[in-house]
Structure 1
């Protein structure tokens, strides 16, 4: 009996393979992640290097090479993340039910004031908003615009994870993150991260932690469009490993 495996693709992968997903047929209903990647490399040998660098997400959670996965799982092959259809705000874990979400994706302009307002509370005396914008010149090359793609449900889930880590490390500090998808022009805002805490020192630390952690684990990809070409950009500060320990502030 053969089992069909469906693996979603994102960013540079779906462009290179000219597909949003690929299918494999095997006689195995379960495989290790390493075995799945080996089968993908056998099917697409010219993309061996890129597939080797990718991580597999199983049911919207990063999986290790030794993890066992099932052909019925929701699977995705994720290239190195950016160092970010109109997506409606995903439900967050906060309460009450009618509260505004703290983590969301949108293809519309982001309001810094809106994001910041969501983390200001009576018992916090400090708040900071980190605002990421499209830079026009990088290493002598002129950027015309950026295009962002996200694995939306997993992106929101990992942004929520960042908020939980921050609250645990900095005595209940609050975090909110909004990230653009689609086209973001030069000088436009691509991401806003707002953090609040009782005191300013921990607020500074938590804000830096949030952006570095976002680059490390959130499946959002950035395509730089130049005057003479384009390129998908992944994490550029070292080997990409979303399963690594939390970043140091």
Structure 2
């Protein structure tokens, strides 16, 4: 089992071994919260992913399933140049990502760049740290691309998110959408960023001058910063 962000902090490690075949995901959560009291505080907002897809509470686990605990998250085969969906540790270039979606059929290309801001609710941020479940994150980004293509015919989408330590002013995410008409580009790009925040397993830790916390975890700070076991 893989654990990320606040869930990994709660357990004190990033992987767990166990035989959960025949159990439902709800039963799995119950077992884990009994074994790891710190995880119980996070349980109401946890999701379970099975084989890189969100799983319902009654999903029965089988041998060989890839299971992950997911805290709340802060192109077709015939396309010769498919849209780009990626997780990277490298600095992002809005121009390069926009170039992946611009095509002769598009009348508008809209680019959204999310950057690290210094002040949030009166508190100064020193830097941010992003973590992702890369394989599932890319799969969910691809789903967003399919949603956009179905809702806005002719749209092409690229989403690239950076992980690791990001300094103030650096780009954390770039979304580029190209559509035949400009109104669709604005609507599709907004859909992309909102859905990314809802379903893509990427987490943000805010590091301040006087502390740090995973955004959206709704948990106390006492146990959050213990070293993780390998």
Q: TM-score, length-normalised on structure 2?
A: 0.89
- Number of paired residues? 218
Distance in 2 separating the partners of 1:101 and 1:128:
14
CA contact (8 A) 2:83 2:101 kept: no
| Structure 2 unaligned blocks of 5 or more | 219-230
Identify the residue that residue 6 of structure 2 maps to in structure 1.
Answer: 12
> 1:53/1:222 Cα in 2 relative to 1: closer, same or farther (>3 Å)?
same
Identify the residue that residue 18 of structure 2 maps to in structure 1.
Answer: 24
> 1:101/1:202 Cα in 2 relative to 1: closer, same or farther (>3 Å)?
closer
Alignment of 1:68 with 2:73, yes or no, is no
CA contact (8 A) 1:215 1:235 kept: no
Question: 1:118 deviation in Å?
Answer: 0.6
Distance in 2 separating the partners of 1:102 and 1:234:
27
Distance in 1 separating the partners of 2:4 and 2:71:
7
> Does 1 or 2 have the higher relative contact order (CA < 8 Å, sep 6+)?
2
Identify the residue that residue 138 of structure 1 maps to in structure 2.
Answer: 120
Distance in 2 separating the partners of 1:195 and 1:234:
27
CA contact (8 A) 2:83 2:156 kept: no
Question: 1:25 deviation in Å?
Answer: 4.5
Q: If each structure's strand is expressed as a fraction of its own residues, which one has the higher value?
A: 1
> 1:94/1:177 Cα in 2 relative to 1: closer, same or farther (>3 Å)?
farther
SS at match of 2:142: helix
Please point out which of 61, 82, 86 is paired with 1:104: 86
SS at match of 1:176: strand
> 1:102/1:68 Cα in 2 relative to 1: closer, same or farther (>3 Å)?
same
Alignment of 1:230 with 2:212, yes or no, is yes
CA RMSD across the alignment: 1.8
| Structure 1 unaligned blocks of 5 or more | 1-6, 83-91, 237-249
Distance in 2 separating the partners of 1:81 and 1:58:
17
Please point out which of 159, 173, 185 is paired with 2:155: 173
> Runs ≥4 in structure 1, deviation > 3 angstroms?
92-97
Q: TM-score, length-normalised on structure 1?
A: 0.83
